[in-house]
Structure 1
Amino acid sequence: MKNMSPMKKSVSICDMEVWNDSCSIEELEYAIENGATGATTNPVIVLNVLKQEMHLWQDRIKEIIKEMPTGSEVDVSWKLIEEMAVKGANILKPVFDASKGKKGRISIQTNAQLYRDTEAMTKQAIRFSKLADNMMIKMPATEAGIKAFEEATYNGVNINATVSFTVPQAVAVGEAVERGLMRREAEGKDISFLTPVCTIMVGRLDDWLKVVASKEKILTTPGVLDWAGVAAFKEAYRIYKEKGFRTRLLSAAYRNQLHWSELIGDNIVQTIPSGWQKKFNASDIDPKVTIDKPVDPAILEELHKKFPDFTKAYEAYGLNHAEFDTYGAITRTLRGFLAGYTELLGVVRNFMVPNPDA
């Protein structure tokens, strides 16, 4: 343990996983060397991978276009997204096999445009789950998404709830997955291969409250807003243990070192961007198990007092399912994913219909 990187040590001191927050081949290889056992992707991540590693994909994009002579830019883009996910799945397959399916998965995200359609999301999730043995499917924790988690789980899909920032969303996901698991169990269907996770995008909750503070001219004690996502995650973790949910919580959207160092513990997944992995590994932080360490009550008091949106995010039923689609952090992220998807289509379009003036 003496010569371990801090990130690798953090997964050695408890039953926790670290995943790479990208399907980038180069980044994934670094992450695995430092203890990572999974990876994830979404439309924005795929777009960024192309920007960073276009030299690895441009020939394949041209080949896909030739292989799909009647395919639209949408068809070609989704073929590319699927192939990126499968390539990452292949890299992680040894981890998957060695752990007998408990680790070594990669997440692929359903079309962000389907966030209101339970049936369409479930159908796409089932199809994506067949791309590789170690595929996990991301769907947004919208009102329709909560229903899709139950149906997908019932159909034997390993789900990863995304576009999720709040304790109410996490509780709704945990309850939905339990319903799906119990339906399978009642029919004598296998659930041993199911390892569902629910994301809390801790940094994006911080981001939203900072937007609120700026818009409403709310002055806060320096650093307080960096604890909002951590506090929500810790509360969700407490509730998950209390209720015995079989879904694991996953932290994502890192903005500072607290999102790593304060969320170390059993039965947790941390999805860390490569840049933050390297910062953590270059630091002198000695990781400790911290998940049950409470947030300073003074910080919680200030967040509750000044930000009703924090209280909505923190209390188990602070938002109802219908409000999931309109909460600020959710709409901001959906817009980002939708914009990233549109930009990705534009990148593919430039291969299909080159600009003669360029």
Structure 2
Amino acid sequence: MTELTQKLSDLGVSLWLDDLSRALIESGDLEKLMSERNIVGVTTNPAIFKAAIAGKSDYDAAIADAASRGLDVDDTITELTTADVRSACDVFKPTYEKSSGFDGRVSIEVDPRLAHDEERTVEQAKSLHALVDRENVMIKIPATDEGLPAITRAIAEGISVNVTLIFSLKRYRQVIDAYLAGLEKAAENGVDLSRIHSVASLFVSRVDSEVDKRLEAIGGDALELRGKAGLANAQAAFAEYLEYVNSERFSALKAKGANPQRALWASTGVKNEAYPDTMYVDRLVANPVVNTVPGKTLEAVADHARVEGSLTESDFAAARTTLEKISSVGVDLDDVFAVLEREGVEKFETAWEELLSAVRDAAASTK
């Protein structure tokens, strides 16, 4: 373990790797990151699977085998991705057991084309959960208007959910409510609440990218607020987390064995090279949180993170003030978050379509 990643772990930060591929598993590199970098989980998304599979030879034999059995491209991708997630779940099983289910988690996302289809999202969540067939899998469901009731229904079925593509505090509150409603229904259905876990993935760097662009268009004193929106939004979200875990509603569920839905910081790779490359880790330390980091960011953290300690009440107050200042100079944050959610779904849909095309071409070349 490096001193810096261990320090983060000691402060309550669970580091999950935002990457997965068959090569990462089979080479032993994933286990190496667990032993040397305090990695205790993995997240995936359509863009990650596209990068892992498209243009690589690692999956050629599996794609050829699927084609020989007459699988179409969608079923082939499902088979490839669930196999990788299943293998990663097995690698993380000791971590899962040691942490009583909080860590050792591997996330797989429902087809992004279903982001606005509640019924089919629920169906696929159940299907993916059954196909992976591991207790430590988490099903990723986007926090769209249609995704919220799907989240409640999946939780009610006893499925652990990673809620993704959260940008605004308003949406985060809705996600919390969806989780609690799911737990309440699960309890009514006689489901063991202690076996249900969830994280709420709040995207960080993308908020800065969109807000900074608008601040630059405004100019003047507004420029001083660049690079502050993402951290402020996330810090304010953790204050919301603390409020709900101490609420009467959650306390009643906790008495029945329920686990808190932890905040997860996503999109923590810095997109503006002018900013410190570990800023979305250094300034988002709290107990408990998950920070899902790309490999490049993880190595930067291990080398030179500047961990300033856990977030405090003064940080939360400052965060709210920062968001108010950003609004006061003319940035419509509601519009920012709406744009980011729409673009987030579109980017995952594009990555998925490109993955479909790549697998289709690979399958055709085997005939």
TM-score (norm 2): 0.84
Greater alpha carbon shift after TM alignment, 343-352 vs 253-262: 253-262
Matches within 5 A, 1:78-227: 78-130=78-130, 131=132, 132-213=134-215, 216-219=217-220, 224-227=225-228
- Report if the CA contact (8 A) 1:218-1:306 is conserved: no
Partner Cα separation in structure 2 for residue 281 and residue 166 of structure 1: 30
Does residue 1:22 correspond to 2:45, yes or no? no
| Cα separation, partners in 2 of 1:296 and 1:109, compared to 1, 3 Å | closer
How far apart in 2 are the matches of 1:105 and 1:199?
A: 14
Correspondence for 1:36: 39
Structure 2: how far apart are the matches of 1:296 and 1:344?
39
Shift of 1:287: 5.0
Give, in angstroms, the shift of residue 223 of structure 1: 6.2
CA distance in 2, matches of 1:335, 1:186: 36
Question: How many pairs does the alignment contain?
Answer: 337
Separation in structure 2 between the aligned mates of residue 80 and residue 60 of structure 1, nearest angstrom: 7
- Percentage identity across paired residues of the two chains: 23
Given the alignment of the two structures, is residue 257 of structure 1 paired with residue 260 of structure 2, yes or no? Answer: no
Correspondence for 1:6: 4
Gaps of 5+ in 1: 314-323
Structure 2 stretches of 5 or more lacking a match? Answer: 251-259, 271-276
TM-superposed CA distance for 1:333, in Å, is: 1.1
- Compared with structure 1, are the counterparts of its residues 297 and 200 closer, same or farther at alpha carbon in structure 2 (3 Å cutoff)? closer
**Residue 282 of structure 1 aligns to a residue in which SS?**
helix
Deviations 1:54-92 (A, max 9, x none): 3432222222222x32x2212212211211211221211
Cα distance in 2 for residues equivalent to 1:142 and 1:199: 13
- Relative to 1, partners in 2 of residues 1:175 and 1:271: Cα closer, same or farther, differing over 3 Å? same
1:38 aligned partner, one-letter code: G
Deviation per residue, 1:151-188 (Å, 9 max, x gap): 00001111111111111111101001101101122343
Cross-structure match for 2:253: none
Q: 1:354 matched to which residue of 2?
A: 365
**Mean CA deviation greater in 106-115 or 71-80:** 71-80
Q: Partners in 2 of 1:85 and 1:127 — Cα distance?
A: 14
- Alignment TM-score, normalising by the size of structure 1: 0.86
Are the counterparts in 2 of residues 115 and 144 from structure 1 also a CA contact under 8 Å? yes
2:264 aligned counterpart, secondary structure: strand
Deviation at 1:217, TM superposition (A): 4.5
Cα separation, 1, equivalents of 2:220 and 2:129: 46
Tell me how far 1:312 sits from its aligned partner.
6.6
Give the stretch that moved more between structures: 137-146 or 243-252: 243-252
